[in-house]
């Protein structure tokens, strides 16, 4: 089992971030979102509590400062002298007003008072007086002063000539609240960012570890999907590992269900293969057994036809038809037997063959049999040799040419080319024509058994529908491929065969097939 490094997990997740919202991403996003929400809630509550405590402390300081200021005013009236601000905190603002008299001062860092603008004092004097238990008011004085917490009160002083009412206001800066709160917010932001980064890292590790069983199940499913389940004998031994089928977990139940499904599929494939083997064996046995009686029927029909001088013409004609149909049926039986043997892989005798000679001979033979089509062949000067069955490879080219003869009108030109593809190390045989082409609706089933393309290409002779199926079977048994497409105009068949053995020796020039005179 491969080990996943944490950094590799992070890089892999980052590379796939731009894709769809997968289960892994949803889980990671959920964990990170929960961590971020907790950090925000805890941080907000901490800030609110600290701000409340500091504001309460500031309000108490404002109350104490107001008491000290009024105590200084009672004996001295509106003449504080040099004692103004005594005992007060730095930056405390004190304002007192009665009639036309007004005192505005601010305690400096060195202790003595500093006179402030009358406009600031006027703004503070607008604050209504409250009782002993009254709550201070927040006011923004602007400029370099900023926000202050202020409380107002009134007191009566005997001035000698009478009793005077004095409006008194004391204000303290809110920096003792805003400063620590700002530092706390910055600290919480840094800690929250670090916590979210750590949560992302551990979320990736946790989700990666939790989803490994699903990943292994996906790998198992991918291996099964790559198997050719539609044909041949398939050993479906891919299973989910034992460690991933613990039914006490949700993922384990999925793994166990997947293994049961793969077991059912394996049994179904085995049954399918056994059925195909029985059918194939039946076709092979039936074809083999039918050859003898068909040969007898053909022989007796031919004998009767030749000896039928005294027979009526209709009987002679019937014997001729019996002979013709027995020949066609024998061809069908031979082709079925060949396909059955090719399916079993027992009909090929591979040896080093000259594919160039095979192509030339097949084209020449076809040209001799059919003078209604024009055949042209192109082969390289240097022979192309490979490992294969010469008789079956000859049949491939002959069947492709026969397919062209059957499904194209008279006068069609047919081009056969043989080339070497050095890049893929393959021999390429191409058979093309300028006929009507292949119906696109027939293209998907063109190489299936008993498939016919009569709707798109003129049919002038009988066809078993097995020629192209034999071509595909022979080519596949040689490890090659055959494809069909439409040109402009006509059809194009391309056969690619691997060059398992490189040609040796000097090139031998081969003659092209001689043109066949019209009959």
CATH number of the structural domain 229-347: 1.10.287
Nearest in space to 341 (alpha carbons), one of 399, 391, 297: 391
Q: In the chain, pLDDT over 70 holds for what percent of residues?
A: 78
pLDDT at 219: 80
pLDDT of 49 above 90:
yes
pLDDT at 506: 38
pLDDT in tens, 251-275: 778 888 888 888 888 888 778 777 7
Residues 371 and 516: their CA atoms lie apart, in Å, by 7
Where are the domains positioned within the chain? 1-226, 229-347, 351-498
Query: What is the token pair recorded at 41?
Result: 């809630």
- In sequence order, the 6+-apart residues with CB closer than 8 A to the CB of 418 are 355, 356, 359, 377, 378, 379, 380, 384, 427, 428, 429, 430
Burial 376-394 (b: 16+ CB within 10 A, else e): ebebeeebbbbebbbebbb
Distances (CA, A) of 299 to 65, 292, 314, 317: 135, 11, 19, 15
Residues 404 and 434: their CA atoms lie apart, in Å, by 10
- In sequence order, the 6+-apart residues with CB closer than 8 A to the CB of 306 are none
pLDDT at 285: 65
For residues 145-154, give the mean pLDDT. 87
pLDDT in tens, 482-504: 898 888 788 899 999 998 654 44
pLDDT in tens, 438-454: 888 888 887 777 666 55
For 293, phi then psi, to 5°, come to -65, -35
**According to the 3-state scheme, what is the secondary structure of 372-388?**
CCEEEEECCCCCCEEEE
How does the average pLDDT of the chain come out, rounded?
77
* Helix (H) / strand (E) containing 193: helix 175-225
- In sequence order, the 6+-apart residues with CB closer than 8 A to the CB of 412 are 373, 374, 404, 433, 434, 435, 490
Residues 495 and 290: their CA atoms lie apart, in Å, by 32
pLDDT at 76: 59
CA angle 325, 331, 333 (to 5 degrees): 100
Adjacency order of strands within the sheet including 163-173: 113-115, 101-107, 93-98, 163-173, 147-158, 137-140
Query: What is the token pair recorded at 440?
Result: 């696109």
Considering the four listed CATH numbers 3.40.50.150, 3.30.565.10, 3.40.50.11310, 3.40.50.2000, the one that applies to the domain covering 351-498 is: 3.30.565.10
pLDDT at 346: 63
pTM score, whole prediction: 0.48
Terminal-to-terminal C-alpha distance of the chain: 73
Asked if 380 and 418 count as a contact pair (C-beta separation under 8 A), the reply is: yes
For residues 279-307, give the mean pLDDT. 72
For residues 386-390, give the mean pLDDT. 87
Query: What is the token pair recorded at 317?
Result: 């004609």
Residue 511 per-residue DSSP state: P
pLDDT at 459: 42
Nearest in space to 269 (alpha carbons), one of 223, 221, 225, 231: 231
For 365, phi then psi, to 5°, come to -60, -40
Residues 416 and 376: their CA atoms lie apart, in Å, by 6
Nearest in space to 475 (alpha carbons), one of 418, 392, 401: 392
* Helix (H) / strand (E) containing 276: helix 250-306
DSSP 311-366: S-HHHHHHHHHHHHHHHHHHHHHHHHHHHHHHHHT-S---EEEEHHHHHHHHHHHH
pLDDT of 124 above 90:
no
pLDDT of 457 above 80:
no
pLDDT of 94 above 70:
yes
DSSP 68-86: HHHHHHHHHTT--GGGTTT
**Number of neighbours of residue 325 by Cβ within 10 angstroms:** 15
Q: How confident is the model at residue 19 (pLDDT cuts 50, 70, 90)?
A: low
Nearest in space to 348 (alpha carbons), one of 298, 410, 396: 396
pLDDT in tens, 335-375: 777 777 776 666 677 888 888 998 999 889 888 887 888 88
- Strands (E) in 315-372, as ranges, are 351-354
For 2, phi then psi, to 5°, come to -75, 145
pLDDT of 243 above 80:
no
Query: What is the token pair recorded at 19?
Result: 């894709």
């Amino acid at each position: 089992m491969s080990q996943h490094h944490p950094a590799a997990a992070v890089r892999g997740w980052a590379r796939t971030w731009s894709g769809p919202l997968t289960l892994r991403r949803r889980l990671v996003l959920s964990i990170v979102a929960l961590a971020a929400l907790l950090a925000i809630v805890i941080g907000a509550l901490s800030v609110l509590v600290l701000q409340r405590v500091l504001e309460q402390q500031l309000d108490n300081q404002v109350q104490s400062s107001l008491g000290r200021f009024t105590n200084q005013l009672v004996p001295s009236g509106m003449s504080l002298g040099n004692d103004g601000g005594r005992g007060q905190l730095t930056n405390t603002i004190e304002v007192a007003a009665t009639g036309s008299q007004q005192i505005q001062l601010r305690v400096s860092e060195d202790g003595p008072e500093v006179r402030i603008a009358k406009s600031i004092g006027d703004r503070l004097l607008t604050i209504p007086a409250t009782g002993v238990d009254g709550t201070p008011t927040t006011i923004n004085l602007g400029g370099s002063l900023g926000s202050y917490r202020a409380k107002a009160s009134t007191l009566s002083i005997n001035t000698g000539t009478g009793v005077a009412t004095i409006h008194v206001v004391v204000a303290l800066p809110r920096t003792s609240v805003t400063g620590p709160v700002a530092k706390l917010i910055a600290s919480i932001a840094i800690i929250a960012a670090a916590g979210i980064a750590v949560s992302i890292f551990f979320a990736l590790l946790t989700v990666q570890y939790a989803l490994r069983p699903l990943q292994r199940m996906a790998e198992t499913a991918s291996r099964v999907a790559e198997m050719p389940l539609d044909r041949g004998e398939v050993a479906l031994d891919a299973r989910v590992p034992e460690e991933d089928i613990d039914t006490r977990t949700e993922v384990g139940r999925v793994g166990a269900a997947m293994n049961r499904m793969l077991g059912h599929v394996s049994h179904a494939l085995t049954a399918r293969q056994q059925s195909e083997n029985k059918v194939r064996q039946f076709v092979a046995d039936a074809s083999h057994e039918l050859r003898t009686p068909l040969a007898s029927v053909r022989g007796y029909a031919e004998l009767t036809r030749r000896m039928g001088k005294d027979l009526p013409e209709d009987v002679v004609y019937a014997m001729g038809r019996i002979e013709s149909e027995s020949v066609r049926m024998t061809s069908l039986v031979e082709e079925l037997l060949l396909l059955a043997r090719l399916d079993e892989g027992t009909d090929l005798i591979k040896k080093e063959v000259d594919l160039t000679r095979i192509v030339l001979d097949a084209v020449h033979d076809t040209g001799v049999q059919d003078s209604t089509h024009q055949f042209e062949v192109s082969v390289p000067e240097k022979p192309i040799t490979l490992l294969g069955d010469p008789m079956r490879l000859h049949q491939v080219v002959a069947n492709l040419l026969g397919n062209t003869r059957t499904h194209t009108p008279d006068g069609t030109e047919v081009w056969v080319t043989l080339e070497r593809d050095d890049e893929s190390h393959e021999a390429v045989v191409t058979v093309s024509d300028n006929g009507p082409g292949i119906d696109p609706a027939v293209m998907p089933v063109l190489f299936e058994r008993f498939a016919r393309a009569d709707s798109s290409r003129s049919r002038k002779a009988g066809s078993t529908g097995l020629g192209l199926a034999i071509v595909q079977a022979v080519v596949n048994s040689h490890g090659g491929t055959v494809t069909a497409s439409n040109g402009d105009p006509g059809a194009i068949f391309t056969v690619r065969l691997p060059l398992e053995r490189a040609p040796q020796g000097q090139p031998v020039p081969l003659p092209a097939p001689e043109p066949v005179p019209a009959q």
